[in-house]
Structure 1
Amino acid sequence: MPEPTAAPAALEAEDAKLVTLARGARARIGAVEGAAVRDQDGRTYAAANVALPSLTLTALQLAVASAVAAGATRLEAAAVVTEASTLDGAGHAAVRDLAAEAPIHVVAPSGTILGTVTS
């Protein structure tokens, strides 16, 4: 699992918006995780994790899938709100499929930025 680097002092406005969207997606259904991504056109996609008997997706996987389904070919940034201290491998891989070095901000449910994954 990728470890986030030190937390930045503050996020840029567009990345802070991703955190807000991810927190909202998580809170809306009481999910374990929420995530949001921004594509090459500045469009945002938010999602919560899915845990069904026949389908399991992390919030970040679903946010990336939603972006791709809407025509995104590249991601600029992502944020995931989670109780874990590290980024899950599947979500990380999904983002890296569309962006080799886009920042992935890992955020606690309280909104505290735990760190950023850039590789």
Structure 2
Amino acid sequence: MTDEPATGGALAEEDEKIVLLARSARARTQAAEGAAVRDTDGRTYAATTVALPSFHLTALQAAIAAAVSSGADGLEAAAVVTEQPLVAGASVQAVRDLAPDAPIFRADPGGAVQEVVR
């Protein structure tokens, strides 16, 4: 299910932070996507698309891998910055593996949230 960003398009400060982290990661590496997640302890993890000959990870999969390898056992929210019109199914499933109800903010490269996947 998708819907518009929070009331009036304004995000909570914590959610703005993960969108900014995702955008910064993408810009820094000029990757296809940048992503960030916030775990249930409030820690944040950012990553970008990994496209190597031997394997591929979406940016959200990479951010979640970083969180899990650091001991996170749940997520509060996730953000992905992409030019794509939808969040990749593999990315949504990776979030849902840890957090069935966490919002996923999809933002354009300028950082404007285009949708919230719930």
Name the TM-score, length of structure 2 as normaliser: 0.95
Q: After superposition, what is the alpha-carbon deviation per residue over 1:1-48, rounded to whole angstroms, capped at 9, x for unaligned?
A: xx6322331110000000010001101110010000000100000000
The aligned counterpart of 1:45 is: 45
Whole-Å Cα distance in 1 between the matches of residues 108 and 25 of structure 2? 14
Q: How does 1:1-119 map to 2 (within 5 A)?
A: 4-8=2-6, 9-118=9-118
Aligned residues: 116
Give unmatched runs, 5+ long, in structure 2: none
Deviation at 1:111, TM superposition (A): 1.1
Q: CA RMSD in A?
A: 0.9
Deviation at 1:98, TM superposition (A): 0.3
Name the TM-score, length of structure 1 as normaliser: 0.94
Amino acid paired to 2:82 = T
Whole-Å Cα distance in 1 between the matches of residues 5 and 15 of structure 2? 13
Deviation at 1:58, TM superposition (A): 0.3
Of all paired residues, the percent bearing the same amino acid is: 58
Whole-Å Cα distance in 1 between the matches of residues 85 and 11 of structure 2? 18
Whole-Å Cα distance in 2 between the matches of residues 99 and 66 of structure 1? 15
